[in-house]
């Protein structure tokens, strides 16, 4: 006989465990299914480990540039990659253990280790056990996409997940893909001491960004020794000694590059293949994502999809926000939805990029009357004092309502500073209110009123 629960959650990423806990706190019986690790990508091979390694890379960079600040270090700066990995593993373990202990203390929650698949719209099988519930929530996330290049299956290659097991320094790291994951690893390993080559089929890095932001990102990474190959596709891969050889094509020109390691960073694929969604009556879109409405409900009554698997966001914070929306709807009878969610994300190179709302390109396509202001970070006192003047700040405002449409801050603290403008957007407050507010000196945020004071028509 199927085991009865009030709710079943498949996947323990950044939505599942929190929803499970909220439901359990409300007195409902909950089955939480996870095939691998609690915490999903973020905790195990995403945000937590990579940003821990970014911090190590930052320390190496600071040590090498110490003389610029009057600090003298005797001898060359070297990086112990085994120690970097050990530190990362310790931070990850603490996060996973904390999550495990927290969920283990919830009386009405039962944890099932294994892969869940649908038997019907109300039943899920885990191993030989069948669970049933009137409400089922999918939070299975996504994994790295690996293209079917000739030779790829016979050549050792890395993804963002397997990179976490690397405890030695690549002599020459080749990265396929110049989007967010690829760029973060590129700078990180260049700072550790690897030669790094990034291959991108498009004309610039971070192609989702405006051209000026992409150009500034390129300048930052090239200044640290990263080599880019744009408008280039991979035609085939093969073993080369203890490394890998990539055959490339750029226009009509053929080329090749040889390295010790290959990292494939070409997007993510939703984890839906093993769910047997057809048994529940759920269809995916052409990319494998589960379509949902603004309340995260699938087309099948009683089934929701949260996090990366629904294609409505690809970040830890969007997944967590999915949980907040579902919990409000299901437990509190509320009406929160995706409709009011403002796009916001960061690129965690150093200095970081904070992005909110619409880009300049998107504003132009909308045809609305808008104002724009751009300021180089070289005008910011905090940046000059820190000796890190790379990047720029950009903000776009509706010319009629005076409300912020979007912003990009690429520079010191950009991922934090941009939240000040985000709050203006969320509150529907005109930008002029920030101009009349006194800020602390010397900070980056204090230049936002100056940035806004220089708004000009977007033509």
Using CA atoms in the order 293, 299, 305, 306, what is the torsion angle rounded to 10 degrees?
0
Catalytic site residues? Answer: 441
For β-strands 268-270 and 142-144, DSSP reports them as antiparallel
Return the residue matching tokens 């992005």.
355
Q: Of all helices (H) and strands (E), which one includes residue 457?
A: strand 456-457
Cα 50 from Cα 53, distance rounded (Å) = 5
Helices marked H in 393-457 — which ranges? 414-427, 432-435, 448-453
Closest alpha carbon to 401 in 428, 437, 362, 439: 428
For β-strands 135-138 and 303-305, DSSP reports them as parallel
Residue 27 phi/psi, 5-degree rounding, is: 90, 10
Whether cis (ω within 30° of 0) applies to the bond prior to 442 is yes
CA angle 212, 215, 221 (to 5 degrees): 145
Q: At what angle do helices 47-64 and 81-104 cross, to 10 degrees?
A: 150
Q: Tell me the helices (H) and strands (E) count for the chain, helix number first.
A: 12, 24
Closest alpha carbon to 10 in 269, 275, 273, 270: 275
Return the residue matching tokens 């000059």.
384
Q: Of all helices (H) and strands (E), which one includes residue 208?
A: none
Cα 223 from Cα 130, distance rounded (Å) = 56
For 344, other C-beta atoms within 10 Å of its C-beta total 22
Closest alpha carbon to 224 in 383, 380, 58: 58
Q: Is the dihedral of CA 261, 265, 266, 269 positive or negative?
A: positive
């Amino acid at each position: 006989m199927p085991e009865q629960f009030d709710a079943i959650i498949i996947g323990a990423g950044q939505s599942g465990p929190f929803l499970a806990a909220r439901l359990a706190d409300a007195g409902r019986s909950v089955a939480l299914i996870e095939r691998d690790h609690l915490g999903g990508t973020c905790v195990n091979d995403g945000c937590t480990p990579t940003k821990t390694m970014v911090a190590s890379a930052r320390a190496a960079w600071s040590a090498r540039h110490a003389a610029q600040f009057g600090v003298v270090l005797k001898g060359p700066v070297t990086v112990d990659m085994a120690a970097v990995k050990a530190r990362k593993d310790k931070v990850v373990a603490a996060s996973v253990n904390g999550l495990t202990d927290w969920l283990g203390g919830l009386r009405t929650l039962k944890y099932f280790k294994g892969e869940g698949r649908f038997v019907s719209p109300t039943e899920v099988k885990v191993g030989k056990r069948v669970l049933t519930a009137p409400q089922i929530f999918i939070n299975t996330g996504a994994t790295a996409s690996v293209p079917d290049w000739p030779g790829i299956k016979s050549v050792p290659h890395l993804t963002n997940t397997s990179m976490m097991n690397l405890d030695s320094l690549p002599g020459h790291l080749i990265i396929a893909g110049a989007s967010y994951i690829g760029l973060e690893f590129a700078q990180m390993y260049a700072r550790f001491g690897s030669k790094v080559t990034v291959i991108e089929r498009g004309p610039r890095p971070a192609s989702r960004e405006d051209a000026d932001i992409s150009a500034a990102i390129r300048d930052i990474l090239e200044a640290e020794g990263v080599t880019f190959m744009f408008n280039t596709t991979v035609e085939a891969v093969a073993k080369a000694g203890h490394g890998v050889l990539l055959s490339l094509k750029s226009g009509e020109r053929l080329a090749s590059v040889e390295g010790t390691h290959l990292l494939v960073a070409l997007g993510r694929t939703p984890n839906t293949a093993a769910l047997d969604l057809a048994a529940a009556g759920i269809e995916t879109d052409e990319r494998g994502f589960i379509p949902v409405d603004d309340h995260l409900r699938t087309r099948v009554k009683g089934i929701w999809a949260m996090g990366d698997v629904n294609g409505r966001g690809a970040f830890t914070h969007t997944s967590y926000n999915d949980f907040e929306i579902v919990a409000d709807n299901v437990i509190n009878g509320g009406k929160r939805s995706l409709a009011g969610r403002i796009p916001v994300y960061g690129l965690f190179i150093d200095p970081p990029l904070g992005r909110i709302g619409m880009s300049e390109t998107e504003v132009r396509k909308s045809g609305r009357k808008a104002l724009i202001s751009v300021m180089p970070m070289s005008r910011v006192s905090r940046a000059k004092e820190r000796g890190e003047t790379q990047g720029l700040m950009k903000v776009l405002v509706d010319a009629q309502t005076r409300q912020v449409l979007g912003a990009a801050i690429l520079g010191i603290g950009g991922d934090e500073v941009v939240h000040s403008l985000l709050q203006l957007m969320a509150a529907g407050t005109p930008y002029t209110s920030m101009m009349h507010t006194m800020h602390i000196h010397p900070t980056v945020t204090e230049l936002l009123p100056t940035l806004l004071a220089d708004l000009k028509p977007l033509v």
